[in-house]
Chains A and B, each alone.
Chain A
Amino acid sequence: DQQVKQNSPSLSVQEGRISILNCDYTNSMFDYFLWYKKYPAEGPTFLISISSIKDKNEDGRFTVFLNKSAKHLSLHIVPSQPGDSAVYFCAASEQGAQKLVFGQGTRLTINP
């Protein structure tokens, strides 16, 4: 049972435009959400997170939006750059838990 779902396996965006990656979750006990980025032959690296008490968190070109009622979050990258081409994983955790539950990942390709 996939508690965190990324329904788009891949996304292609033109350089300079906005990239929007989506993530849905089913477990209402999740209260913290994260995005990780993974390049080939490397481990995932933390990108940005958001607590369930917020609906938006911004860090430079990256913004995460959380819609608790819809159990949906999204990552916006503006403007998209070629170096953003990677696989992006959405992850979630429950209060007090040390472990994360990851989605399937979305491969983002930024075209020049």
Chain B
Amino acid sequence: DVKVTQSSRYLVKRTGEKVFLECVQDMDHENMFWYRQDPGLGLRLIYFSYDVKMKEKGDIPEGYSVSREKKERFSLILESASTNQTSMYLCASSLDLGGGRRTDTQYFGPGTRLTVL
């Protein structure tokens, strides 16, 4: 079974702090994703990575950055946390079948509920 783990289930930070959210997957997946989930807005893609050191902006990248130094680990960084970044953050990974073929099954971690005071 694929396992995606996130470093914290709950996190409370203060405005202006630098925040690191870590995600690790154990299935050698090429693709990794960071989403945030907010009531009434569903899951919105922040950033994704299709290979080590590669990253692409999602739909709402402002205020965030990411790091992927190893294949199994994808970090989300809030350079200076703000109250509007209070949210549930979900990490996911998926396999790249190659040749332009797509794998649709994204495996999600349990989420980190971040509160910025």
Which positions 62-117 of chain B face chain A at CB distance < 8 Å? 90, 92, 94, 96, 100, 102-111
Residues of A within 8 A of B48 (CB): 98-99
List A residues at the B interface (Cβ < 8 Å).
4, 6, 9, 32, 34, 41-46, 49, 89, 91, 93, 95-105
Whether the pair A102, B108 counts as a contact (CB closer than 8 A) is no
Given known A-B contacts A89-B43, A98-B102, A43 and B50 have beta carbons under 8 A apart: no
Query: B41 on the interface (CB 8 Å rule)?
Result: yes
Query: B44 on the interface (CB 8 Å rule)?
Result: yes
B47 to chain A, nearest CB (A): 10
Residues of B within 8 A of A100 (CB): 45, 104, 106
Number of A-B contacts (CB under 8 A): 63
Whether the pair B106, A9 counts as a contact (CB closer than 8 A) is no
Residues of A within 8 A of B103 (CB): 98
5 A-B residue pairs with CB within 8 Å = A43-B108, A43-B110, A89-B43, A98-B94, A99-B45
Q: Which of B33, B90, B110 contacts A99 (CB 8 A)?
A: B33
Contact with A along B27-64 (1 / 0, CB 8 A): 00001010100001111110010100000001100000
A51 and chain B: residue at smallest CB distance: B104
Q: How far is the CA of A58 from the CA of B90 in the complex (A)?
A: 28
Q: Which of A6, A43, A49, A95 contacts B109 (CB 8 A)?
A: A43
Whether the pair A97, B110 counts as a contact (CB closer than 8 A) is no
Whether the pair B42, A105 counts as a contact (CB closer than 8 A) is yes
